[in-house]
Amino acid sequence: MSAVVRPRSGQRATRAITLTAFACLTGALRLSAQGTPLSLEDAVRMGESQSEAVRIARAGVQRGEGQQMQARSQYLPQIFGSGSYTRTLKSQYSGFGGSTTTDTTTSKAPAPPCDAYLADASASVADRLAGLDLAARCASGNNPFASLKSLPFGQANAWNFGISVSQSLFSGGRVGAQTAAANAGRRSAEIELTAQRAQIILDVTQAYYDAALADRLVAITEASYTQTENVLKQTQLAKNVGNISEFELLRAQVTRDNQRPLLIQRRSDRAVAYLRLRQLLNIPLNQSLSLTTAIDDAATLPAGIHLAGLTISDYSAPDTVSSHRASVRQASEAVSVQQNQLRIARSQRMPTLSLTSQYGAVAYPPSGLPTSSEFRANWTIGIATQFPIFTGGRIRGDEVVAQANLAESRARLQQVREFAALDAQVALNALNEAAASWEASRGTTEQASRAYSIAEVRYSEGISTQLELNDSRILMEQATVNSALAARNLQVARVKLALLPNLPLQSATSTFSSQQSQQTQQQSTQQYSQPQPSQQQQQGQTQSGTLANQQIPPGL
């Protein structure tokens, strides 16, 4: 009877080894065989090109370029042109010059004393004409506004064209400080762009390996479920022929049923991991993906990182110098900005000197467009100076504010240096731990698989219990999961260390980098005549994977 129920030990051992190898090595590829192929290099390329944070950082660099142009423009002369046309409908000067036409319909004698020039009727024609001429001149001389009609006041048409030029000769160092602050803001924006690129690369790499890990965990759990299902079938057959008790059958059923919730959880975690990856790559959430980069394949990893165009350190000798970190460099640029803000505040006590010149051409044609001969030139040139006499303490207040901002930026720089050194040591410890776990798990997986095959043979021969078989299966499953998790952690730790100089701080103060960048850009765009401290700060948060931090259930 036992020969009918139990297969030969060699066949059962071969089946167990084949099933375990198939589940652990090819299970993930079988689950994701259908879908769009996606390698780590492709994911990095897509993630950087689709990242909103990178586009925001690029806009910051463009804004920094504009601020540099604004600051440098003050070294050059400012030239403006103007032109105007005015049509006068009614003028206040219209009645001062008298009428321009002479009333010839009636004869009217000149008013005294001009009538004394008129000759008698008996005089000759020549004397009478001479008297009329003198009387007319007399009448004209009595009107003091008679000549205003030839002046431009109140003319119906007025044309005015001009050019004005101004050049700053001395500003007490304000223009130089503005330019230096704008240059520091531009450099800070470029550092922020590099930091955001490095961060999205790390996020995409982490999400990619989280999805690959989820595939592996689902494959392992399905293989374990298949094993418990096979044991249940064998136990049911043995129970039918009377070789084992009902207790052994119930134990096999409970063991199989306990694997179902775990399998459901693994599949749910895999769905969430793929959703996270699709969201980072800005692809449809329902699009099927097939990951082609293995979780324990390190050969293609450097190519995926170099594809981003960043200068990275060697994996074997990562750059952990605190002064090379992006956050520290941004803090240094913030100190430079605050130093120039203090120079700007102090420059307000110095006089300013500027050269101005204006050239204008005006014309008052009687009607229509003016001719070139009707334009009259008006050209002036002058030097102007301005210096404060009493401002009610405003300049002193600006200096106090600038000094406080400078002291704060220097303290923040020291703080960021300390956190950068701590963050580098944490990253190194994480890499060492992941490498040690990976090395320790490589041999354990093979040993656990071998132990399970032996336990299955012992159980088929009746020299061991189902409890021993289940323990061996659990140990094999746990070793396989630990190996996959260690491989994922090792890959992410290596990428993080390679990108460490360009990454923002990953500690509790990781928001400082984005805050300092925003503050630097805002202060470089202030009205430098009255510098004020920036009050707006934006906080950025880095996202971490969930699969790497999850605990292995006690059932594994």
Q: Given the DSSP bridges, would you call strands 352-363 and 376-386 parallel, antiparallel or unpaired? A: antiparallel
CB 278 within 8 A of CB 289: yes
Neighbours of 85 (CB within 10 A): 12
Q: Please give the residue that has the higher pLDDT: either 32 or 450.
A: 450
pLDDT tens for each residue of 314-329: 555 677 888 889 999 9
Q: What is the pLDDT averaged over residues 400-417?
A: 95
User: CB neighbours of 240 closer than 8 A, spacing ≥ 6?
Assistant: none
Is 443 a residue whose pLDDT tops 60?
yes
Among all chains, which residue has been given the structure tokens 């604004």?
Answer: 70
Q: What is the pLDDT averaged over residues 419-424?
A: 92
Q: What is the pLDDT of residue 168?
A: 93
**Count of alpha carbons within 13 angstroms of residue 331, beta-carbon side:** 28
Average pLDDT value over all residues in the chain: 77
Residue 17, class by beta-carbon neighbours within 10 Å (0-12 exposed, 13-18 middle, 19+ buried)?
A: middle
Candidates 301, 304, 327, 303; CA nearest to 195 is 327
Q: Is the dihedral of CA 191, 197, 200, 201 positive or negative?
A: negative
The phi, psi pair for 169, rounded to 5°, reads -95, -35
Q: What is the pLDDT of residue 244?
A: 78
Q: How far apart are CA 311 and CA 322, in angstroms?
A: 17
Neighbours of 556 (CB within 10 A): 20
CATH number for the segment(s) 2-72+171-344+393-523: 1.20.1600.10
pLDDT tens for each residue of 265-315: 999 999 999 999 999 999 998 889 999 888 876 544 444 455 455 555 555
Q: Given the DSSP bridges, would you call strands 36-38 and 289-291 parallel, antiparallel or unpaired? A: parallel
Is 45 a residue whose pLDDT tops 60?
yes
Q: What is the pLDDT of residue 380?
A: 93
Q: What is the pLDDT of residue 210?
A: 93
Q: Please give the residue that has the higher pLDDT: either 465 or 274.
A: 274
Q: What is the pLDDT of residue 9?
A: 39
Q: How far apart are CA 356 and CA 380, in angstroms?
A: 8
- For the record, the structure tokens of 272 come out as 């969430």
**Residue at 202: amino acid letter:** L
Is 512 a residue whose pLDDT tops 70?
no
Residue 210, class by beta-carbon neighbours within 10 Å (0-12 exposed, 13-18 middle, 19+ buried)?
A: buried
pTM over 0.85: no
pLDDT level of residue 441 (50, 70, 90 thresholds): confident
Helix axes 246-281, 466-498, angle to 10 degrees: 10
Q: What is the pLDDT averaged over residues 156-178?
A: 93
- The helix/strand/coil state of 212 is helix
Can you list the alpha helix ranges (DSSP code H) found in 360-393?
Answer: none
Residue 202, class by beta-carbon neighbours within 10 Å (0-12 exposed, 13-18 middle, 19+ buried)?
A: buried
Is 543 a residue whose pLDDT tops 60?
no
The phi, psi pair for 366, rounded to 5°, reads -65, -30
- Provide the 8-state DSSP code for 393: T
Q: How far is residue 415 CA from its own chain's centroid?
A: 23
| Least confident window among 79-83, 126-130, 333-337, 378-382 | 126-130
Q: What angle do CA 131, 132, 137 make, to 5 degrees?
A: 100
Q: What is the pLDDT averaged over residues 90-104?
A: 57
Q: What is the pLDDT averaged over residues 486-503?
A: 87
CB 34 within 8 A of CB 290: yes
**Bridge partners for 355 per DSSP:** 167, 383
Q: What is the pLDDT averaged over residues 73-101?
A: 79
Q: What is the pLDDT of residue 23?
A: 43
Is 548 a residue whose pLDDT tops 70?
no
Query: Three-class SS string for 134-158?
Result: HHHHHHHHHCCCHHHHHCCCCCCEE
Q: Specify the domain boundaries for CATH 1.20.1600.10 within the chain.
A: 2-72+171-344+393-523
Is 450 a residue whose pLDDT tops 70?
yes
Q: Please give the residue that has the higher pLDDT: either 409 or 152.
A: 409
Q: How far apart are CA 359 and CA 377, in angstroms?
A: 7
Is 528 a residue whose pLDDT tops 70?
no
Q: Is the dihedral of CA 82, 88, 91, 96 positive or negative?
A: positive
Candidates 441, 519, 480; CA nearest to 217 is 480
